[in-house]
Amino acid sequence: MNKATIVGSINLDTNLRVHRMVKPGETIHGKEHYTAAGGKGANQAVAAARAGSQTRFIGAVGKDTAGKQMLDLLKEEKIDTSGVEIIENEGTGQAFITIDDNGENSIMFYAGANYAFGPEEVVKNSDLIKTSDFVIAQLETPIEATTKAFEIARQADVKTILNPAPGESDLPKELLQVTDIIVPNETEAETITGVHVKDEDSAKKAAAKLHELGIEVVIITFGAKGAFYDYNGHSELVPASKEKAVDTTAAGDTFIGTMSSLLKKDFSNLKEAILYSNKASSLTIQRFGAQPSIPYKNEII
């Protein structure tokens, strides 16, 4: 059983289903409204836990009803929340998600407490990081906190996985130099490298630039097409299962969390882990909501 520590965001998601996306200045009817647990960090933690990892979390919520609700849900997943700070005078992070009939989504994010913790809180939870196999982070929390977590991980020979989302064009070298695996989608890969990623050839060019920054393993997710990886002189597009998407929210998070449950620290089973994670994501996109859509290990198998 792998041990995964996630440094990241915790949100309450407000979802609105619509027939099509709204245009600027336009008002349309929604056809369904619901709330669900979310946040890229929390989604990845739930995916890792449901896939069988021993999972820990470092992050923050506000001292409010939403924060208590989110923590209770993480604990129900048997996730260690001892590294989650409860911040006074801050609201728990929230995301507002619109999903159309094609399963595409539009997301607006309010950080709240997710931006109210930093390197100091990470240092307090160093033992969680040092006793992990993988540390996973995204960009919905302060980059300084993520960098500190990855530095602690590198010193302890713990592998790091960075999901550079939301996309940032100017990621600090200090963070990239302590990143072992980077997992952007096509748009995020282009934002970081300047390479327009549309196929395997362009993905390989983007991967080369990411390797130059010191990153050992590059995985670029291509949605319905699958996931491209470039590692140790070998590259390949691993196809995804062909399923009709009703909601793509948390598909990428499912991929990353699930992968961390199976991947070996020497990356010797990288393709196998990607295939497994593709299957998990194909289940996620057939369901609505972020965490409610994430599959369990027995479903993936």
The catalytic residues are: 253
Q: Both tokens of residue 2?
A: 């792998």
42 is in an annotated binding site: yes
Residue bearing tokens 């996973």? 136
Could you write out the DSSP letters of every residue in 273-297? HHHHHHHHHHHHTTSSSSGGGPPPH
Instruction: Kindly give, in sequence order, each residue whose CB lies less than 8 Å from that of residue 96, ignoring residues fewer than 6 positions away.
Output: 13, 14, 16, 107, 108, 109, 110
289 is in an annotated binding site: yes
170 is in an annotated binding site: no
Residue 271's Cβ-count burial label (10 Å; 0-12, 13-18, 19+) is middle
127 is in an annotated binding site: no
11 is in an annotated binding site: yes
298 is in an annotated binding site: no
221 is in an annotated binding site: yes
223 is in an annotated binding site: yes
226 is in an annotated binding site: yes
Q: Both tokens of residue 53?
A: 């990892």
133 is in an annotated binding site: no
12 is in an annotated binding site: yes
| Extended strands (E) in the chain | 3-7, 11-17, 32-38, 54-62, 80-87, 93-99, 105-110, 134-137, 159-162, 181-182, 217-221, 226-231, 234-239
105 is in an annotated binding site: no
274 close to 219: Cβ distance less than 8 angstroms: yes
The Cα–Cα gap between 31 and 270 comes to 41
The Cα–Cα gap between 153 and 195 comes to 30
199 is in an annotated binding site: no
Q: Both tokens of residue 22?
A: 């709204």
173 is in an annotated binding site: no
Per the annotation, binding residues for substrate are 11-13, 39-43, 140, 253
Per the annotation, binding residues are 11-13, 39-43, 140, 185, 221-226, 247, 249, 252-253, 278, 284, 287, 289, 293
Per the annotation, binding residues for ATP are 185, 221-226, 252-253, 278
Per the annotation, binding residues for K(+) are 247, 249, 284, 287, 289, 293
